[in-house]
Structure 1
Amino acid sequence: MRPVYVAGVGSTTFGKHLDRNLRSLGGEAVAKALVDAGIDRREIEAGYCGNALGAMLQEETGVGQHVLWEVGMGGLPIVNVENACASGSTALHLGWQGVASGQYDAVVVFGVDKAVMPKGTPLKVGAAEMEVRLGDLFPGYFAMVAQKHMEAYGTTLEQQAKVSVKNHDNGCLNPYAEFKKPLTVEEVLASPMIADPITLFSCCPNSDGAAAAILCSEAVVRRLGKPRVRVAGSVLATGLYDNQRDFSHWEIEEKAVAKAYEQAGVGPGDLSLVEVHDAFSICEIVHYEGLGLCARGEGGRLIDEGATAIGGRIPVNASGGLLAKGHPIGASGLGQIAELTWQLRGEATGRQVEGARVALAQMMGGSKEADARACNIHILIAE
């Protein structure tokens, strides 16, 4: 497998875009990535689109073709990917495979979704038999994660609230973020209860948005003269679903990140910053542990110490994360890649992590039993 580089990235703002469709949002992100890379669209040999909700909410399929036609790109192989919240990062993984294998020299990968719906419209966990019988919704599932982690390790409501406070502070520094208003621990805890112990301000918003990246070979990135950000690790994993009782960790994440660290030749101690799937504040604490940033049960201590803040030992979600930046489902994984690429190039004005060299993106999708259906880990290294 040969080296793969991120030559350019682009993103819309995340939030409510009621007057725009999938093609418009996706087209903006792709166009920005092409300009950022300085590459002619005719050099792109394949496209990979992550979209989770188009068929369900907009009754639109073949989203990748629609988006690329929006920017005048046709006649190339286009793959549409649906893998729940991991749709965009799975598209990235497939694009990485295409370049790493030598099949292509330059591809575009992008994610796009419109997830803003009328108030009160539920999104079920999925069609898994047990969950549907129980009428499980996402807040309920993650409330069980929070309850189990609190019971097992003494994690507190205040520690969970601090995650939301940190990420909303970071969101205030990010021009692409949906929420740019700081919160206090007291405000998070006093916000309306959604699913005990998860309150409103401990939940991410469903958002509209798109993000894209241009992946290319070493020869192409050298010719373009772009900063060298290498995709050193790319892993897609599916859960074993044999952990049906312990909601305090995700086995799929622990196994995926171990493989990614081995692939990239780095460990958790080498990371400069991390972006994770913080759909609810408890998620980030569990991810600290699953990614090896601390031992199991010590995630609450990490947030108490300020280790994951910008300027801390290992900043997590400098972008604001899903909690503040927003969660346009199929676009979120590539939104992480855009943020980390800017960070590794020293271009994240106002929220820059000094000396950033090695970055990790973690994204999960769906749930089944006490595990996730999909987990992507990507490790980027500035060369």
Structure 2
Amino acid sequence: MRDVFVLGSFTTPFRRAPEKTHHDLTREALEGVLADAGIEASRIDATYFGSAALHVFGQPNIGGQVLLLPLAREGKYPHAAPITNVEGGCATGGLALMAARAAVAAGDCEVALVLGVEKVFLPEAPQKMWELFEGGTDRLHAAEARALYAGKAAFCGGVFEPHPARITILDAVALEASWHMARYGTTKAQLAHVASKNHAHGVKNPNAQYREAMSVEAVLADKGVVGPFTRSMCAPISDGAAAVLVGSREALLSLGSTRPRVRLAAIAAANGTRTSPDMPSVTTFAAKKAFAKAKLTASEVHLAEVHDATAFAEIAATEDLGLCAAGEGGAFAVSGATSHGGRVPVNLSGGLESKGHPLAASGLAMAHELALHLTGRAEARQSGSPGVGLFHNAGGLVGFDEATAVVGLLVREG
């Protein structure tokens, strides 16, 4: 199998953007990633297009073709380059990047485009927003899933009281957080510290949705959502797009770039199976596979972008990825280890909590953030001169697990 490199990456600003269409976001991301790579669109051999919400707009199928072929008619996308549509909830971007990497590694193409486009903010149709996020749960067995959560509530040390105006995922994750707090002594203040840290990181990210610092006290005083979570501990609703171009070593060298090379050393995914929060998570399995493929260990990671749909999700991810021991994620964050300048900075982009979370674009924005740091282009939020970056992109809910999780490792060469 061939080595695969990041040729270029790009993200639009993440925000509520009712004035922007899917076509606007697609065009901006495509033009941005081509400019970043310094490559012509004609060199794209294949595209892996991701969106988790197009069905809400009446486009459940062929989303990539609908959005890219108009650009092909303008000469801005090659007609002959096949478009594969990918959907995996919030993990869509990571899954699409994994597929593109595999195609280049196998020699099926030299240059592959990965594109995630999403519009989630629907102020005139709030019920559609609710349906969209509920679509990330097991709707075919909804009664069984709710019975599982209700039956485990006492074990978790919490309550399961779903509300029609709140998505089930938040209630389930709140139960998991309550269990973690009861089992390990994790505190609400530690959750607030993670959120405060991410909002501080977001201040330095011009593409972040929220760019205002929040103290721990302000996070704690924010509006309650469910369980231990306040509003600022949870990712907002966002519109946006992100793109990554990957290619072979030969494709990279042909560009004549003077940047350090960024090799996509490994990407691995796993499926959620746990029916209780005391079982190993999907992230644990995906991470083990990714580290084995890359021949790296967690101790060699210099910075990470993880799927912090909630502040607790970041604590759990740092533990499950092996960045710290089980039960120590809260204390690890409070120690400053995951802050800018810490031992292993986490979510220097601001994370989903501050940067925003336009579903299919989120995982690609993580890879983009890592590529910036590995090539020394992250400006005010640059974290030294890192050599290994990790991204963790998860999506959906099955039992007490994400339905799928993707872990990728990017390595600087030269």
Q: TM-score, normalised by structure 2?
A: 0.89
Q: 5+ unaligned residues in a row in structure 1: which ranges?
A: none
**Superposed counterparts of 1:73-222, under 5 Å:** 73=77, 74-118=79-123, 121-122=129-130, 123-124=133-134, 125-126=136-137, 127-129=139-141, 130-131=144-145, 137-222=168-253
Distance 2:312 2:270 in 1: 22
Q: What residue is the counterpart of 2:157 in the other structure? A: none
**Counterpart in the other structure of 2:363:** 333
Deviation at 1:45, TM superposition (A): 0.5
Instruction: For residue 58 of structure 1, report the CA deviation from its aligned partner.
Output: 5.0
Shift in Å, 1:221: 0.2
Closer/same/farther in 2, CA of residues 92 and 78 from structure 1, 3 Å limit: same
Name the residue aligned to 1:359.
389
**Equivalent position of 2:67 in the other structure:** 67
Match of 1:4 in 2: 4
2:25 is paired with a residue of what secondary structure?
A: helix
1:281–1:323 CA contact under 8 A, matched in 2 = yes
Number of equivalences: 380
Cα offset, 1:68, TM superposition: 2.2
Paired residue type of 2:64: G
1:304 matched residue in structure 2: 334
Q: 1:329 to 1:250 in 2, by over 3 A?
A: farther
**What is the rounded CA distance, in whole Å, between the counterparts of 2:221 and 2:58 in structure 1?**
35
Give the Cα separation in 1 of the matches to 2:9 and 2:182: 42
Q: Distance in 1 between matches of 2:146 and 2:67?
A: 33
Q: Which runs of 5+ in 2 are unaligned?
A: 150-161
Q: Which runs of 4+ in 1 moved over 4 A?
A: 132-136
State the Cα distance separating 1:4 from its structure 2 match: 0.3
Deviations 1:198-253 (A, max 9, x none): 111111101000000111000010111233100001112112x2x2122x575211
**Which residue identity does 1:131 align to in structure 2?**
A
Q: Is the 8 A contact 1:85 1:366 kept in 2?
A: yes
For 2:380, what is the secondary structure of its paired residue?
Answer: coil
| Letter aligned with residue 81 of structure 2 | L
Letter in 2 for 1:41: A
The superposition leaves residues 306-348 of structure 1 with CA deviations (integer Å, 9 ceiling, x where unpaired) of 0000100000000000000000001100010111111100000
3-state secondary structure, aligned to 2:379: coil
**Other-structure match for 2:411:** 381
Displacement after TM superposition at 1:69 (Å): 2.7
CA gap 1:60/1:18 in 2 versus in 1, 3 angstroms: farther
Q: Give the secondary-structure state (helix, strand or coil) at the position aligned to 2:24.
A: helix
Alpha-carbon distance change, 99 to 58 in structure 1, aligned in 2, over 3 angstroms:
same
- 2:181 alignment partner AA: M
State the 1:300 CA deviation. 1.1
Q: Distance in 1 between matches of 2:179 and 2:118?
A: 31
Cα separation, 2, equivalents of 1:128 and 1:283 = 25
Secondary structure at the aligned position of 2:68 is classed as helix
RMSD, aligned α-carbons:
1.5
Matched-pair contact (CA < 8 Å) for 2:373–2:385? no
Following superposition, the deviation at residue 35 of structure 1 comes to: 1.1
Equivalent in the alignment of 2:38? 38
* CA distance in structure 2 between the partners assigned to 1:159 and 1:51 by the alignment: 33
For the 8 Å contact 1:50–1:89, the answer to whether it is kept is: no
Q: What is the CA distance between 1:117 and its match in structure 2?
A: 2.5
Q: Displacement, 1:139?
A: 1.5
AA paired with 1:359? G
Task: Note the C-alpha offset of 1:59.
Answer: 3.7
SS of alignment partner, residue 309 of structure 2: coil
Larger Rg: 2
Task: Quote the residue 1:16 is aligned against.
Answer: 16
Give CA deviations for 1:264-301 in whole Å, capped at 9, x if unaligned: 11111111100000000000000110000111011111
Q: What amino acid is the match of 1:77?
A: P
Q: C-alpha deviations, 1:357-378, integer Å up to 9, x for none?
A: 1000001110111112111011
Work out whether residues 173 and 400 of structure 2, in 8 Å CA contact, stay in contact via their aligned partners in 1: no
In structure 2, give the amino acid aligned to 1:323. Answer: E
List per-residue Cα deviations over 1:86-112 (Å, max 9, x = no partner).
Answer: 011111000001100001000100111
